[in-house]
Amino acid sequence: MIEDRIDGATLDGVAATCLWTLRNRAEESRHPGSVFADPLAERLQRRISYDYARFGKPDQIHPLRAAALDFALRAYLDRHPAATVVALGEGLQTTYWRLGRPAVDWRLGRPAVDWLSVDLPPVIDLRRRVLPPEPRVTSIPASALDRAWLAAPDPARGVFISAEGLFMYLERDDVLALIADCAARFPGGQLFFDSIPPWLSRRTLKSGPRGRPPFSTSPEGTDNSGLRLSAGYTVPPMPFGLTVSEAARLLGRIPGVAAVADVQPPPGRGAWRPGTLRRLANLPGLRDLRPSITLVTFAG
């Protein structure tokens, strides 16, 4: 059956970044040398018409981050099979399906996982149009910073929160306050998030020529500053940067944080294979200059 195509250009600003990460996962899934499989992402990318070339060349960073999330989430659900998963800023992520639809385990007589997908209203609207409905997946069209979603999961069943590609778009104080609220509300839970280093954050904030405000408010292709993926696309400002060392210091700084782990993405192709580059990226002097993935465990 040929499905109607849906116009992705209804998204703009930070909401449109979910098309960038979707494109990267779908392209990696199609790559003959890849071990990352996400047929639903491929289908979504075909279904949503958009000028994906504006995101520049496909990059493995997003599919490898997704694979790292899958791994962490599987491990948590093995220990907490009735947990609630809260995917903050979920975009068009298809983790639920890559994990084999964990909520349908009730057919096997096991307790079921509940899944909350939190994102801005235009993104949730698109998610609802393109993804298959699932009885135990609830979409919440709201900011992750709006604390209403914290009341939904039952803390006693276990809670795993993902914030994949989200925190860099928020302000530092807001992120730290949100982590503290999650730690207080969900003892024994885990939070998975990724960060860019502060030098990269600063680059995204650079003002455009002639003092114009940077990025999304100016007509595309006219701004020569910031982090450009192509002549036609500059990523929205990312005000929050965090080093690996700063992430480690969340333990002790935020009450209720019991452990902080620097998560290594799984091996990819080319430069992302295990080898010299990875070893370099973990040297003490260089570790704080690279993007990172952090898994926080809350005291139980």
Contacts to ligand SAM by CB under 6 A: 14-15, 17-18, 21, 88-91, 93, 118-120, 123, 143-145, 164-166, 169
Q: Which is nearer to ligand SAM, 130 or 258 (CB)?
A: 130
Minimum CB separation from ligand SAM for residue 143, in Å?
4
Distance of closest approach, residue 268 Cβ to ligand SAM, in angstroms: 16
Q: Closest CB to ligand SAM among 196 and 250? A: 196
Check if the beta carbon of residue 250 is closer than 8 Å to that of residue 296. Answer: yes
Q: What are phi and psi of 182, to 5 degrees?
A: -65, -40
Query: Least CB distance from residue 27 to ligand SAM, whole Å?
Result: 13
Nearer to ligand SAM, 104 or 145 (CB): 145
Of 64 and 166, the one with the shorter C-beta distance to ligand SAM is 166
State the Cα–Cα distance between residues 92 and 119, nearest whole angstrom.
10
- Could you tell me the smallest distance in angstroms from the CB atom of residue 14 to ligand SAM? 4
Name all contacts of 19-22 with Cβ < 8 Å and 24+ positions apart: 19/48, 19/50, 19/52, 19/55, 19/92, 20/55, 20/62, 20/229, 20/235, 21/62, 21/91, 21/92, 21/93, 21/164, 21/165, 22/48, 22/91, 22/92, 22/93
Please state the closest distance from residue 284 (CB atom) to ligand SAM, in A: 29
> Residue with the closest Cβ to ligand SAM?
91
Q: Which is nearer to ligand SAM, 88 or 296 (CB)?
A: 88
Angle at 294 between CA 111 and CA 76, to 5 degrees: 15
